[in-house]
Amino acid sequence: MKFSLAAATALFAGAAVAQNVAIAHPPAGASMTSGQNFTVQLNKANSLSPSSDIAVVIGLNSCTSGACPDPSQEIGYVLYSGPFSPSQSDDPALPPNQNFTVQIPPAYQGGQYQIACAHFSLIGVSICAP
Ligand SMILES: *[C@@H]1O[C@H](CO)[C@@H](O)[C@H](O)[C@H]1NC(C)=O
Ligand SMILES: *[C@@H]1O[C@H](CO)[C@@H](O)[C@H](O)[C@H]1NC(C)=O
């Protein structure tokens, strides 16, 4: 399933968007296997009002010949799409965050992949920081 962000972004044309959500887990370079369930942890910048969150889409892109697609253009295979409601965890060192358990499609073969994420809030749509 491919999903293009271009149309959604256009809905919010003119809105200044900043990267206010970061993919905190898995770490860059993590290695996983087909069919594996894993946690995607999204951290939200502390300064923003929690009420502005609407949803996130987390996608998986294949990086062929070492080059990953631009996540602002292509979200890839959708691993999760739904509400985003970050909360303060027990660890006070962490900003408000939410963990999503997602599964790598069993048919996916070895290679390099990229997790991309789009954050929908009242401010607009932005791509999560890597
Ligand atoms: C992975 O997640 C899927 C869907 O949530 C579940 O059906 C499956 O049992 C999980 N597999 C493992 C190994 O935990
Ligand atoms: C998300 O998972 C991380 C790592 O296990 C944990 O430190 C954090 O508290 C969790 N976040 C929430 C909101 O429970």
Residue 78 pLDDT > 50: yes
| pLDDT tens figures, 36-75 | 899 999 998 866 555 578 899 999 988 877 688 888 788 8
DSSP the chain: ---BSHHHHHHTTT------EEEEESPTT----TT-EEEEEEEE-TTS-GGGEEEEEEEEEEEBTTBPPPTTTB--EEEEEEE---B--S-TTSPSEEEEEEE--TTPPSSEEEEEEEEEETTEEEEPB-
Residues recorded for the chain: 130
In testing the pocket of ligand 1, which one of 37, 100, 104, 108 has its CB within 8 Å of the most ligand atoms? 37
Output the CA 79–ligand 1 centroid distance in Å.
Answer: 13
Residue 37 near ligand 1, beta carbon < 6 Å: yes
Per-residue CA distances from 39 to 24, 27, 58, 79 (Å): 10, 11, 11, 11
- Side-chain-facing half-sphere of 33: CA atoms under 13 Å: 1
Output the CA 37–ligand 1 centroid distance in Å.
Answer: 6
| pLDDT tens figures, 16-36 | 445 688 889 988 888 888 888
| Residue with more model confidence, 35 or 83 | 83
| pLDDT tens figures, 110-130 | 788 888 899 888 877 788 887
| pLDDT tens figures, 2-12 | 333 333 333 33
Q: How many CB atoms lie within 10 A of CB 57?
A: 22
Four-residue CA torsion sign, 25, 8, 76, 54: positive
Residue 43 near ligand 2, beta carbon < 6 Å: no
What residue ranges define each of the domains in the chain, with the CATH number in brackets? 2-123 (2.60.40)
